[in-house]
Amino acid sequence: MSGAGEALQGYNAALLEGLAELRARRDELSGRIREEEAERARLQSRIAALTERLARSSERTARHLAARRQLDACIAESEAAYGKILESSQTLLDALKGEIGNASKASEPASTSKQTPGQKHS
């Protein structure tokens, strides 16, 4: 039985050595898991911060777009009103030129016949 006892002790030592190696691997793996979990927590924190920044940026962009739409509408209204002013100005200028022409004709002598001096008109 001494051979069987030695074999059993050899198996026992190999088993204990194998278990120790497995525990060392498990401890190493546990350390890696803790590192990965810490990295994951850091990344989630960054994601949350970036998501918040993205939301604020989207809100600012929406406000800027609304303001630009208002400015575009104001510009369009102003340009349309300016066009109407130009039309009215042209109409007024044309009417003024017509009145000036009429006034010039009215101030010219009414008679186109030639009179000799000393003759009276009958």
pLDDT-based confidence at residue 116 (cuts at 50, 70, 90): low
Residues contacting residue 115 through CB under 8 Å, at least 6 positions apart: 121
pLDDT-based confidence at residue 3 (cuts at 50, 70, 90): confident
**pTM as predicted:** 0.55
Q: What is the mean pLDDT of residues 86-90?
A: 97
Q: What is the mean pLDDT of residues 85-114?
A: 83
pLDDT tens figures, 30-53: 999 999 999 999 999 999 999 999
pLDDT tens figures, 62-71: 999 999 999 9
pLDDT of residue 109: 67
pLDDT of residue 96: 93
Q: What angle do CA 101, 107, 112 make, to 5 degrees?
A: 105
Residues contacting residue 29 through CB under 8 Å, at least 6 positions apart: none
Show the tokens assigned to 49.
């911060």
Q: Is the pLDDT of residue 24 over 90?
A: yes
Instruction: Decide if 49 contacts 43 (C-beta within 8 A).
Output: no
